[in-house]
A and B are shown apart, each in its own frame.
Chain A
C-alpha cells in the first residue's frame, strides 16, 4: 500500500499560526567582550577590524563606539530556558499529514541600526507565509519564517526571512 499524493501540505495549524508573532525573547546586555570574542572567532586566524574591539579607534568613526558585526548573536548561551507557556505561534501542534523531508532554502537578512555594547535585543518570530508548487520533488511547500530583532529603543536591528522547503 502506498501513500496517495496529498492535495496540500499545508496544515490547519499553519493556517492558524500564519502571521501571528510568537512570544518574545530578550537577550542579556551585550558586552564589549562578547563582541570582541565573536569578531576574533569569525576572523580567525587574522585580527578582526578595530571597530569591533578598539574603543579609541571606534570613537572617531561615524558610529562613535564599538559596534558588533551584523551577524553577531546576542542570544547565544542562554542561562534560563524560557518557562513561560509557549505562545500559540511558537509550536506547531498538528503533525503533517505525512512525514515530510526538508531542506534549508536559504535566508535573507536586512539590517537596521548596528548592535552596540550595552544593547539589549528583543527577538520575535512568526510564520509569515508559504506557497506550494509542483516541482521535480513532487508537491513542494516553500514556508517563509520571519524573525525580527529590536534594540531597547525599539529600533530595528535585523529582520531575517528564512525559507524551509518541505516535500
Chain B
C-alpha cells in the first residue's frame, strides 16, 4: 500500500505534477485497439482533411480524457479515488502535439465522510493552448 499524498498536506492553490504525452498514431492506434475506436478521422489523414482538419487525422477526445484520469490517478495514488471529472473539448489534438495535463487545487472539504479535493484541470498543448478545461473532485486519505 502506497499513499502518495495526505489531505492535510494539500493546500488551495497547489498544483499537481504535470503529466505529458507526445501523441501520434502509436498512441491513437493502441487506444483504438482497446476502445474499438477505429474511426477514419483518427486513423487516416485524408479522412481528417475531409473533416476540415487541414493537418489530417487527429486524436480522440476519449484518449485526452484518459490522460486527465491518469494525471489525477498518479497524483492521488492507489488509496485515493477520482469522484468526478468535467471538461469541454475546446481544440483538436493534432498529430505530434505534446499534451500536458494540469491541475490546481481550488477547495478542500470533508463531505459524506470523505476527504475531498476540488481542482481546476486542463490539457494544454505545446503552444500553451487550453484544449480541455474543466474540473475534478478526488478523495485522498487523511492522517487523522
A71 touches B62 (CB 8 A): yes
Q: How many Å lie between the Cα of A60 and that of B78 in the bound state?
A: 10
Shortest 3 CB-CB contacts between residues of A and residues of B: A106-B88, A108-B86, A42-B66
- Chain A contact-residue range equals 20 to 34
Sample of 14 further A-B pairs with CB below 8 A, known A34-B34, A76-B36: A40-B30, A41-B30, A41-B35, A44-B21, A44-B30, A51-B78, A69-B73, A73-B35, A105-B88, A106-B88, A106-B89, A108-B84, A109-B84, A111-B84
Q: How many Å lie between the Cα of A40 and that of B69 in the bound state?
A: 14
Interface residues of A in 36-77 (CB under 8 A from B): 37-38, 40-45, 49, 51, 58, 60-63, 69-71, 73, 76-77
The 7 sampled A-B contact pairs (Cβ below 8 Å) are A61-B78, A62-B78, A62-B79, A76-B36, A104-B61, A107-B87, A111-B81
- Residue picked from B1, B70, B78, B134, most chain A C-beta under 10 Å: B78
Check B7 for interface membership: any CB of A closer than 8 A.
no
Given contacts A42-B66, A43-B70, A77-B36, contact A104 B89 (CB under 8 A): yes
Chain A residues whose CB sits within 8 angstroms of the CB of B73 once the complex forms: 49, 69
Given contacts A42-B67, A49-B78, A110-B84, contact A76 B1 (CB under 8 A): no
- Chain A: minimal CB distance from B98 (Å): 14
Chain B residues whose CB sits within 8 angstroms of the CB of A29 once the complex forms: none
Q: How many Å lie between the Cα of A37 and that of B36 in the bound state?
A: 13
Check A22 for interface membership: any CB of B closer than 8 A.
no
Interface residues of B in 67-81 (CB under 8 A from A): 67, 69-70, 73-74, 78-79, 81
Chain A residues whose CB sits within 8 angstroms of the CB of B43 once the complex forms: none
Q: How many Å lie between the Cα of A114 and that of B78 in the bound state?
A: 12
Chain A residues whose CB sits within 8 angstroms of the CB of B82 once the complex forms: 70, 111
The residue from B1, B66, B134 contacting A69, defined by CB atoms under 8 A apart: B66
Chain B residues bordering chain A, tally (CB within 8 A)? 33
A61 touches B1 (CB 8 A): yes
Chain A residues whose CB sits within 8 angstroms of the CB of B81 once the complex forms: 111, 114
B86 touches A109 (CB 8 A): yes
Chain A residues whose CB sits within 8 angstroms of the CB of B36 once the complex forms: 73, 76-78
The closest CB in chain A to the CB of B132 belongs to: A106
Chain A residues whose CB sits within 8 angstroms of the CB of B6 once the complex forms: none
A69 touches B69 (CB 8 A): yes
The closest CB in chain B to the CB of A43 belongs to: B70
The closest CB in chain B to the CB of A51 belongs to: B78
The closest CB in chain A to the CB of B29 belongs to: A41
